[in-house]
């Protein structure tokens, strides 16, 4: 089961209730949220809330961007070998037809399509991450011959690491700040 912001808030409320029942010093709601965020591996509550998200009230799920690709080999080299994504599934209507595949890395889900009309080359996808420094170290240790990304610490929204795939699509990994 994937944890949402609502789940984390319930955990914080349970923490406060359990501590109160045990006779411990009262804990503020804000402090309990910070503790739960740390337990989940996030720097603070704002980072956790941005990364966890909540399902839409309408019952709709998270959107999945579709990025256009023109070469299966280059797509696999970039997304699987360099970014560390895994293939959830792939499809071709028949041999020789364009590839469509769904990729995942942690909570990020992206579809890649070789079909004309799916996606537009040059698209941008914004992805929140909990620790941009760790991602930068990982990608730097796994060199990709076409790019050497750095971290833009002054980017709007928080420190951002942008990578561009061989098809001019950009993924901006951002560690959201309050």
Please name the residues in contact with 123: beta carbons below 8 A apart, sequence gap of 6 or more.
65, 67, 68, 169, 170
The pTM assigned to this predicted structure is 0.68
Mean residue pLDDT of the chain comes to: 88
Model pLDDT for residues 67-122, shown as the tens digit of each residue: 999 999 999 999 999 999 999 999 999 999 999 999 999 889 999 999 998 988 89
> What fold characterizes domain 66-174?
2,3-Dihydroxybiphenyl 1,2-Dioxygenase; domain 1 (3.10.180)
Model pLDDT for residues 7-55, shown as the tens digit of each residue: 888 888 888 888 888 888 887 877 888 888 888 888 878 778 777 776 5
- Residue 38: predicted pLDDT: 87
Q: Give the residue carrying structure tokens 């929204």.
A: 157
> Can you give the residue ranges of every domain in the chain?
5-52, 66-174
Model pLDDT for residues 59-75, shown as the tens digit of each residue: 667 789 999 999 999 99
């Amino acid at each position: 089961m994937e944890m949402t912001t609502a789940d984390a808030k319930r955990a914080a409320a349970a923490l406060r209730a359990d501590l109160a029942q045990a006779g411990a010093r009262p804990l503020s709601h804000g402090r309990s949220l910070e503790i739960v965020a740390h337990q989940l591996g996030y720097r603070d509550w704002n980072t956790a809330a941005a990364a966890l998200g909540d399902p839409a009230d309408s019952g709709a799920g998270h959107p999945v961007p579709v990025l256009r690709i023109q070469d299966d080999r280059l797509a696999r080299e970039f997304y699987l070998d360099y970014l560390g994504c895994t293939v959830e599934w792939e499809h071709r209507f028949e041999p020789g037809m364009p590839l469509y595949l769904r990729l995942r890395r942690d909570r990020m889900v992206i579809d890649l399509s070789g079909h004309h009309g799916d996606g537009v080359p040059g698209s941008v996808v914004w992805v929140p991450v909990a620790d941009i420094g760790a991602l930068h170290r990982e990608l730097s240790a796994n060199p990709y011959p076409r790019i050497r990304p750095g971290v833009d610490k002054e980017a709007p929204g928080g420190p951002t690491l942008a990578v561009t795939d061989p098809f001019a699509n950009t993924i901006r990994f951002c560690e959201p700040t309050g």
